Structure 1
Amino acid sequence: MKKELPACPVETTLLLIGDKWKVLILRDLIEGTKRFGELRKSIGSISQKMLTQQLREMEEDGLVDRKVYAEVPPRVEYSLTEDGFSLKPILDSLWAWGEQYKCKINQG
């Protein structure tokens, strides 16, 4: 079943990553594969339920890959798919803009 996407490409992008948590998950996974606990610790104030929900949505959208290892207790790792990693230039731009803005505000 194909997902109904907005006509506007900007709106489509925001639909997929417009949530604050999803951008932070992307930020962390761009550095490489992480386990659930590592993501939760890195993001900080996100609840376990919200992180699970966001990761599931990102997996459904084809941005995140979830790998479960047959161990006891089970080990689960998350990484970016090719589509997920293709968002790196957007995150780099967000970082650069935020850095520039912080410098400007701190000077004035």
Structure 2
Amino acid sequence: MSELAVDMFDEICPSPMQPLRMKDKWAPMVLRCLEEGPRRFSELRVPLHRTSAKELTRSLRNLQHDGFVCRTSAGRTVTYELTDLGRSLLDLLDTVYAWSDEHGDDLLDAYDPDDTAGGRGAVKE
């Protein structure tokens, strides 16, 4: 096995520039909800009812900050819409969802709800 290179991760592209940050589990779902066009916050709350308004607001702000979603205000009406950059992620999401469907049982088998350290993963013996 070869050694890992010191410059394996290009400093020109720091980790905050990566498109999908796993720390925000709602981001991919928000992108999917905006696939067919602009939506109001209250519309997004319907399929994303398991998240709080605060978490959804944070996801929308992060997506807007990263250039994937634009926020439009017209009077008292605010809508959120995918940018071209955000729309370009939809095929990637389709691939991730297909992988998740294919490996769903494996993911459920590997999941340990008692793992409070988070992410220790499988132990090879």
Distance 1:63 1:80 in 2: 6
TM-score calculated relative to the size of structure 1: 0.75
Quote the residue 2:10 is aligned against. 7
> What SS does the corresponding residue of 1:37 show, helix, strand or coil?
helix
Identity %: 37
CA RMSD of superposed structures (Å): 2.4
- Cα offset, 1:54, TM superposition: 1.2
Which structure carries more relative contact order (alpha carbon 8 Å, separation 6+)?
Answer: 1
Structure 1 unmatched ranges of 5 or more: 1-5
CA shift in 2, pair 1:85/1:17, >3 Å: farther
Quote the residue 1:56 is aligned against. 61
TM-score calculated relative to the size of structure 2: 0.66
Q: Which consecutive segments of 4 or more residues in structure 1 shift more than 2 A?
A: 6-9, 11-14, 101-105
Structure 2 unmatched ranges of 5 or more: 1-8, 108-125
Q: Which structure carries more helix by proportion?
A: 1
Q: 2:90 aligns with which of 88, 91, 95?
A: 88
2:35 aligned partner, one-letter code = I
